[in-house]
Structure 1
């Protein structure tokens, strides 16, 4: 049975539900499988979404409402975002006015009168002043925090140096440190830069660090990496080879190994939760299976260690490589 979440601190489950997949492309499962009571019983209590994710907020809000008698609002955390409303840089708006409007609309879609976390979404896409300056998004979010409509204020994005720069500015110049940051694809089998940045972020007053996409946006999974992936061709091919060889030589799935590696970030560098984009009930069960397996066994098997060694060898030429963000296409006006 799910427990009431603490009201005086943010205590997310070690595995968080990434609701980006509930964009509207999976209508055959969303209403039934998106958020069922089994998730709460298995331990998930944190759900992440965004206005940018199509119909995700609507689907998540409706699904949570259907089980509200058994699991009222106090049983889970909801995090959403503001500022990004489309694919290219022209679709961003981090003004205070838009931030207030966005948060209000998100609360309506999610059927709640408060949000646990609101992030400024993909902060690297705009000048930093748009985020931290007067009349900007963070000013508005901290005002909403003072009103009790938002519990924790944060930022999300890909380049770690941008996240750190904003965190340091808020701490040193504004005396108003960020509560939380959401990083993605930076504590994976391919890239562990978050390990270097986590202490710096803590020093800048950030209390909570969320790590998203242990599968590195479908790079570390079975099957060919999607052509849209922003990594260069050589890295995509190396990851595809690693997936095939891991399966053929060791009978293991690279997605399981990648998930388990990222989950270990909680103990290794103090990650508060690993956020995984989930679409179907089976995916939730697989993620939780990997997490529990790692918690129960602690040590890897000899076969797993051999598989990890092979994967690291294949990915070594691209270790800690970070792609451009925004990409050239996203910069289009």
Structure 2
């Protein structure tokens, strides 16, 4: 039986599990990692899992892992969030039609081995014309239809350029059909904090939940450095490498520092959840540890060590020339121009 999703109140954990990492786009995935990572996440209080058809085999892998854990953690104990509209790298791989949207959600349910999905987002809205998102026979029409039918609970949009997301949110608010969720990525991290400025505008447009994805800025802030395809320009990549080195020289980890910075968004601008890409049990443990440290500092039970303050000052200096820089999306490569 399909659950009555109208009775589901979305209460995402402050830290959400980003399933994009399960695509293999960042690192090869060992077979036993997903179940172990999901079990550790659920045991630690993470209750929200984000994925997309665009993320390779992520929906299949996540669905299988959670199915294996169903005796320990029934479907009612967590939220699933997936996306529609983007099925490949370039704009020609997008389909925002109502019909494809309905089909896509049905396909995602099968892959995720569930009979309902809590949150469905239009994926990377900046790649298509505005009317394909909000217009007649567009993606949002399909999602709100599914919401009315009780097959999904919450409707939203994801993307990179904040002005595009805000335009859609404001349009929907004026239409009397506001978005429930906005998922922004790479706009609240050590290098770019623009989401904090936009958050009040999203709230004014009736958006109930604001999620911040990619606190490591799509792996820019990790000791191994970003993947080759990362859209940051050479100067920003170099600055990020220097940040990682400064942290390491002082006995700190750049990914942990970046995560803790992003978790502060909850108190800074009432962020609902931070979505961080996770592949392995150990990464879940590291993320949870960083989150707990952040909470302890907010509550005053733990002080920030002077060495960390000093390192963050150096990082801010290194990143200052690139503060709030946003790369072009779609990129020239995605548009087929290079």
TM range (shorter): over 0.9
Partner in structure 2 of residue 186 of structure 1: 187
- 2:32 corresponds to which residue? 29
Q: Deviations over 1:59-89 (max 9, x none)?
A: 1111111111221111000000000000111
- Once the two structures are overlaid, the 10-residue window that deviates more, 298-307 or 129-138, is 298-307
* CA separation of 1:226 and 1:21: change in aligned 2, threshold 3 A: closer
2:312 to 301, 308, 312: 308
**Which residue does 1:18 correspond to in 2?**
18
Equivalent pairs counted in the alignment come to: 326
CA distance in structure 2 between the partners assigned to 1:147 and 1:34 by the alignment: 33
Q: 1:72 is matched with which residue: 74, 89, 114?
A: 74
Q: TM-score, normalised by structure 2?
A: 0.93
| TM-aligned CA deviation for residue 301 of structure 1 | 1.9
Contact preservation (8 Å) 2:37, 2:284: no
Give the superposition deviation at 1:101. Answer: 0.3
Q: What residue is the counterpart of 1:39 in the other structure?
A: 41
Q: Secondary structure at the match of 1:183?
A: strand
Deviation digits for residues 26-70 of structure 1 (CA, Å, limit 9, x no counterpart):
14334542422x322211100000000111111111111111122
Q: State how far apart, in whole Å, the 2-side matches of 1:130 and 1:39 are.
A: 36
Whole-angstrom CA distance in 1 between matches of 2:68 and 2:22:
16
What TM-score, normalized to structure 1?
0.95
What SS class does the counterpart of residue 119 from structure 1 fall into? strand
Equivalence for 1:228: 229
Report the equivalent of 2:211: 210
Structure 2 alignment gaps of length 5 or more: none
Q: Distance in 2 between matches of 1:32 and 1:166?
A: 36
Cα deviation, residue 302, structure 1: 1.6
What secondary structure is seen at the aligned counterpart in 2 of 1:151? strand
Q: Which moved more, 1:188-197 or 1:18-27?
A: 18-27
CA distance in 2, matches of 1:67, 1:188: 32
CA distances 1:82-105 after superposition (whole Å, capped 9, x unpaired):
000001110000000000000000
- Please list the CA deviations of residues 248-289 of structure 1 after superposition, one character each: whole Å capped at 9, or x if unmatched: 1x2111111100000010111111000001111111110001
Residues 131-146 of structure 1 aligned to structure 2 (within 5 Å): 131-146=133-148
Matched with 1:271 is 271
Q: Does 1:320 align with 2:320?
A: no
State the SS of the aligned residue for 2:95: coil
Asked if 2 retains the 8 angstrom alpha-carbon contact of 1:167 and 1:178, the reply is yes
Would you say the 8 A contact 1:22–1:30 is kept in 2?
Answer: no
CA contact (8 A) 1:30 1:59 kept: no
Q: What SS does structure 2 have at the residue aligned with 1:69?
A: coil
Q: Would the alpha carbon gap of residues 31 and 216 (structure 1) be closer, same or farther in structure 2, given more than 3 Å must change? A: closer
